[in-house]
Amino acid sequence: MGPLQASMTTANLPQSTVISYDKTFIENLKPNTPFVRCTARRPLDLNSGNQLRLHMYNPLGGNTAQVSEGVVGAPIYVSVAFTTATIGQFADYVNVSDLAIDTSIDPVLENIRKEMSNRLAITLSTLVRNTADSASSVDSSVSALSKTGTATLGRSDITSSVSHLLGRNVMPFNTAEGRMVGVIHPFNVGDALNDSSNNSITDILKRNPKGVELLQELPGLDEVPALEWGGVTFFPSTLVTQTSDYQSTGKTAYRTYVFGENGVISISLGDVNGATGPADGDRKNLRLWLQRFEGPSRSDPSRMIGGVTSYNVRFTSTLPPDTVMRIAYIDAVSNIS
């Protein structure tokens, strides 16, 4: 007798071919959003108008002229510069039907709130980046270190950017540690680390055990520096300004930013909520709301909407009231794509 053949298979058992759905969703790809952490943060008090005026005394030069004995000379005065920033309002929401909430296989409101959080972070980072980009229209030296042609970012460029700022009396972003802060594209990090020529970053780091450990680490998460060199702590982001066909090279240039103290000033309406430094950035009005509707309302008498997640942020960013900017940036193409 030959082998038995099954009379029932998945072809005639429809219940065996049902789809099982994994309730743990795959994480989508999100950019790092470190620009706000690279700003000096100021609150605009509630019920104090929609503008914040920032003042700065213009510096006095030295006076090497001697006075005449017994003569009271004329007084001098100190001028004051200022800039005025106007708060903007940024809001979005997603509402979900009661039926969708009650039938979805995932915690839909909570998951959408995460996506809204990313949307808000990208929005604020882009606003700060655009403000930083405008610094070169005030002070052309901001972009003076940008690379020519197909030259990529290297050790000397980072060192020069710090010297550029210090040579203009710009204070470090983190005065306690004496360090600037920066934002860099991962491609530029790779270019800098791939350079193994004599006295390159990689060549210098490999000479000591701690440097070797740094080279072995994956460079760059949102809260982890991608690169520390020459007095700058760089955080990675793909949100940097990009220039296609840079200088007719057919390649895209990526902008590397270095911020000193008060390079960009971000302003939020409302009190600081425990924010003490660049890594502690929660503001009273920077929050995501999630609300489930338990009953009918005047606008939704049948309670067709089951819940909503939203944000409503009052925010702006500005440059300091000076003709000398506290920022340097470097446009450079990459050998990575």
**DSSP, res 283:** B
Contact residues for 290 (Cβ-Cβ < 8 A; gap 6+): 109, 110, 113, 307, 308, 309
d(CA 23, CA 69): 88
Domain membership flag for residue 215:
yes
Number of structural domains (the chain) is 1
Domain membership flag for residue 15:
no
Please, where are the H alpha helices in the chain? 98-103, 108-133, 135-138, 155-166, 186-194, 201-205, 209-216
Domain membership flag for residue 66:
no
φ, ψ for residue 82, nearest 5 deg: -150, 160
Domain membership flag for residue 265:
yes
- What pLDDT score does 7 carry? 86
Are 219 and 236 contacting, i.e. CB atoms less than 8 angstroms apart?
yes
Domain that holds residue 326: 32-56+81-337
Domain membership flag for residue 262:
yes
- What pLDDT score does 226 carry? 67
Domain membership flag for residue 65:
no
**Which tokens go with 189?**
């990090």
Largest CA distance in the chain: 131
- What pLDDT score does 203 carry? 39
d(CA 133, CA 62): 33
Annotate 253-278 with b (16+ C-beta within 10 A) or e (fewer).
bbbbbbbbbbbbbbbbbeeeeebeeb
Residue 328's alpha-carbon distances to 53, 165, 186, 229, in angstroms, are 24, 7, 18, 15
Domain membership flag for residue 22:
no
In degrees to the nearest 10, what's the CA dihedral of 33, 36, 39, 44? 180
Q: What is the pLDDT along the chain (337 residues), one digit of tens a residue?
A: 566 788 888 999 999 999 999 999 999 999 999 999 999 999 999 899 999 999 999 999 999 999 999 999 899 999 999 999 999 999 999 999 999 999 999 999 999 999 999 999 999 999 999 999 999 999 999 999 999 999 999 888 999 999 999 999 999 999 888 999 999 999 998 888 886 654 444 434 444 544 434 444 545 455 556 678 788 999 999 999 999 999 999 999 999 999 999 999 999 988 544 444 434 444 445 678 999 999 999 999 999 999 999 999 999 999 999 999 999 999 999 999 8
Domain membership flag for residue 244:
yes
Residue 169 gets the label, from left (phi > 0), alpha (psi -120 to 50) or beta, of: left
pTM of the model: 0.87
**Which tokens go with 302?**
């049948």
Q: Which residues pair with 56 in a beta bridge?
A: 81
- What pLDDT score does 336 carry? 92
d(CA 272, CA 41): 9
